[in-house]
Every structure is written in C-alpha cells, then in structure tokens.
Amino acid sequence: MDHYEPSYHIYLNDTCIKANLNPTEFEKEMSRIKSFLELTNLENIANIDYVRCEPPSRLMLEGSY
C-alpha cells in the first residue's frame, strides 16, 4: 500500500517562495525563514504563511470476477 504525505507551499507577503515541500522539508524551511526574518529585523513587516495540500484520496475498488 502506498503512503502519501501532504505537501506544503510557503508564502511570504502573498508570494510563493517554496512549493511542494514534504513535512520534513517544510519544518526546516519554516525554521530557516523565521530565523532569517528575525536576524534581519523584518519579522514585523513580513507576512509568512503556508498552505497544506492534502494528498489525493485513493478509491480502492474490487476487481470484477
């Protein structure tokens, strides 16, 4: 059975800056981006957001006999 993970897109001020990240990549990138914004004192003017995209659902049908 295949396992599908959600994917994530990260937006900064309504512009997609990272797309189709798996959960592990998403956590790393969000941490990096937040750290960068803090170091550059831009966290107050930057609007960071994300979208979680659920994997496609699979319909399991029995074969005909």
User: In this predicted model, which residue has the larger pLDDT, 12 or 64?
Assistant: 12
Q: Which band of pLDDT confidence, cut at 50, 70 and 90, is reported for residue 1?
A: very low
Sorted by sequence, the CB contacts under 8 Å of residue 48 that are 6+ apart come out as 10, 11, 12, 30, 33, 34, 37
pLDDT value at 3 more than 70? no
Q: Which band of pLDDT confidence, cut at 50, 70 and 90, is reported for residue 43?
A: confident
Each residue's pLDDT tens digit, 10-42? 999 999 999 999 999 999 999 999 999 999 999
